[in-house]
């Protein structure tokens, strides 16, 4: 009987890890299984485009049943427990045995925990992007405010990116003069977490497009009656349409399990080999480990983590296989409405040298040609996971 590798999550981390592992290991010696709650892989950076009507859901999504074509067993279901000692994962009440476990379940949104969140919209998942799409389509005048509820959230640059996309959207409709756009964020400057190389041009672009910024704003609650975002210090920002990232939390099966949780409640892992500290047959990658290792939540990080983990799993099973070193680069191909923009950042020093303030970043222009980069990667992403292009 061959060994079984179970991967939880079919996104940028889990989906790619499963695909890589399947390619590296003989079909007759290893079973690879992918478990996903939603039964699909989405190209999440394009949720912004879905919200603005430039993509349909089926254009950026593939069902996990397509894994079967590449020899991977897909299972749709919600993971509710992991027992590292028994080597089992509980999925919709059923226990599944594993020899190697790769956890990449992403995050849990918890809007009910945030005061007044029922008054907001967001685009951080497909279903919510479609609801926002309907709201934006009927918006003719007033103030749009983009904000976040937690320090960590998926795709750190996206509040400012979405502001630029909305600017272009309403300009194309001929009603931009009737619409005010504001980003109210905890950062001291737009994209300040990436340093002045990135923050300076972004600040300039926002100013050129007459997009207001409220820096250092930590949202405490949303008052639907007065239509105000209220900060922790009592400051307020008026809105007619609030687009707010929901609270991002670790899944209960992680936070409530001391065998796999780090002290902060997120998934335990490390940047050397991504194994949990207590069990070397369990790997953690993607958004679920970001707060534990000190990174932001982004698909590109999960992608490179999957490359490393797949090589290590192959080594575990084959007995010898040269591991792929973790690539600490983050590459953001942003669609900013009338143009595209690429930001390149290497986080190695930020992750390994204490008190390093920023990653080593480069801004690679902003023009219409760069706009193609997002569209190209969108197609590459899904094809790469489901047996198409291979890199």
pLDDT digits (tens, 9 = 90+) for 161-216: 999 999 999 999 999 999 999 999 999 999 999 999 999 999 999 999 999 999 99
CB atoms within 10 A of CB 312: 21
Residue with token string 């029922």: 118
Q: Does residue 268 lie in a domain region?
A: yes
Longest dimension (CA), the chain: 67
Rg value, the chain, Cα: 21
Distance CA 303, CA 381 (A): 10
Rounded to whole angstroms, what are the CA distances from 100 to 47, 106, 196?
Answer: 32, 19, 42
Task: Please report the DSSP string for 48-105 in residue order.
Answer: HHHHTTSS-GGGGEEEGGGGGGGTEEEEE--EEEEETTTTEEEETTEEEE-SEEEE--
Q: Does residue 285 lie in a domain region?
A: yes
Whether residues 235 and 275 share a domain: the answer is no
Whether residues 22 and 72 share a domain: the answer is yes
Residues of the chain with pLDDT under 70: 1, 388-391
Task: Please report the DSSP string for 114-135 in residue order.
Answer: STTGGG-B--SSHHHHHHHHHH
Whether residues 114 and 242 share a domain: the answer is yes
Choose among 32, 24, 28, 23: nearest CA to 1: 28
CATH of the domain at 91: 3.50.50.60
Tell me what pLDDT residue 377 has.
Answer: 85
Q: Does residue 48 lie in a domain region?
A: yes
Into how many domains does the chain fold? 2
Whether residues 114 and 185 share a domain: the answer is yes
Whether residues 57 and 77 share a domain: the answer is yes
Residue with token string 């590292």: 84
Which residues, listed in sequence order, are joined to residue 109 by a DSSP beta bridge? 248
Tell me what pLDDT residue 321 has.
Answer: 78
Of the residues 178, 211, 246, which one is the last residue of a structural domain? 246
CB atoms within 10 A of CB 93: 9
Helix (H, G, I), strand (E, B) or coil at 31: strand
Whether residues 60 and 148 share a domain: the answer is no
Q: Does residue 341 lie in a domain region?
A: no
Whether residues 35 and 8 share a domain: the answer is yes
Q: Does residue 373 lie in a domain region?
A: no
| Structural tokens at position 63 | 């069902």
Helix (H, G, I), strand (E, B) or coil at 301: helix
Q: Does residue 40 lie in a domain region?
A: yes
Neighbour-count burial for 344-369, b at 16+ CB within 10 Å, e otherwise = bbbbeebeeeeeeebbbbebeebeee
Angle, helices 368-385/14-24, rounded to nearest 10 degrees: 60
Distance CA 100, CA 290 (A): 21
Q: Does residue 139 lie in a domain region?
A: yes
Q: Does residue 353 lie in a domain region?
A: no
Tell me what pLDDT residue 322 has.
Answer: 83
Whether residues 103 and 115 share a domain: the answer is no
Whether residues 180 and 292 share a domain: the answer is no
Of the residues 246, 264, 297, which one is the last residue of a structural domain? 246
- Domain containing 147 equals 110-246
Tell me what pLDDT residue 1 has.
Answer: 56
Whether residues 238 and 268 share a domain: the answer is no
The answer to whether 50 and 60 are in contact (CB under 8 A) is: yes
Tell me what pLDDT residue 388 has.
Answer: 57
Element (H, E) at 166: helix 158-173
Whether residues 209 and 271 share a domain: the answer is no
Whether residues 102 and 184 share a domain: the answer is no
Tell me what pLDDT residue 41 has.
Answer: 97
Of the residues 200, 228, 246, which one is the last residue of a structural domain? 246
| Structural tokens at position 93 | 């009440």
Tell me what pLDDT residue 389 has.
Answer: 42
């Amino acid at each position: 009987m061959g060994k079984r590798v179970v991967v939880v999550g079919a996104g940028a981390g889990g989906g790619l890890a499963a695909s890589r592992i399947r390619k590296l290991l003989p079909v007759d010696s290893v079973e690879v299984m992918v478990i996903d709650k939603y039964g699909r892989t989405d190209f999440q950076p394009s949720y912004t485009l879905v919200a603005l009507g430039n993509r349909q859901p089926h254009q950026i999504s593939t069902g996990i049943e397509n894994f079967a074509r590449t020899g991977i067993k897909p299972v749709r279901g919600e993971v509710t427990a992991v027992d590292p000692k028994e080597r089992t994962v509980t999925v919709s009440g059923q226990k599944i045995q594993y020899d190697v476990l790769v956890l990449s379940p992403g995050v849990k949104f918890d809007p009910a925990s945030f005061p007044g969140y029922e008054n907001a919209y967001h685009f951080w998942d497909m279903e919510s992007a479609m609801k926002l799409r309907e709201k934006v389509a009927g918006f003719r005048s007033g103030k749009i405010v983009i904000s976040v509820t937690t320090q960590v959230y998926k795709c750190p640059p996206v509040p400012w990116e979405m502001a630029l996309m909305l600017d272009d959207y309403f300009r194309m409709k001929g009603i931009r003069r009737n619409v005010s756009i504001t980003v109210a964020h905890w950062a001291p400057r737009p994209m300040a977490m990436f340093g002045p190389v990135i923050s300076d041009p972004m600040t300039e672009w926002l100013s050129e497009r007459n997009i207001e910024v409220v820096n250092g704003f930590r949202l405490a609650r949303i008052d639907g009656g007065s239509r105000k975002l209220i900060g922790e210090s009592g400051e307020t920002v008026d809105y007619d349409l609030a687009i707010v990232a929901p609270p991002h939390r670790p899944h209960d099966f992680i936070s409530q399990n001391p065998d796999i949780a780090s002290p902060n409640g997120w998934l335990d892992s490390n940047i050397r080999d991504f194994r949990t500290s207590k069990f070397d047959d369990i790997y953690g990658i993607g958004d679920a480990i970001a707060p534990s290792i000190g990174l932001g939540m982004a698909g590109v990080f999960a992608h490179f983590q999957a490359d490393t983990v797949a090589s290590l799993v192959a080594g575990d099973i084959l007995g010898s296989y040269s591991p792929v070193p973790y690539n600490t680069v983050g590459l953001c191909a942003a669609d900013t409405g009338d143009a595209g923009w690429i930001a390149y950042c290497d986080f190695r020093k930020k992750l390994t040298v204490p008190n390093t303030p920023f990653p080593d970043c480069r801004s690679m222009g902003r023009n219409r040609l760069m706009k193609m980069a997002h569209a190209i990667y969108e197609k590459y992403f899904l094809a790469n996971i489901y047996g198409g292009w291979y890199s």
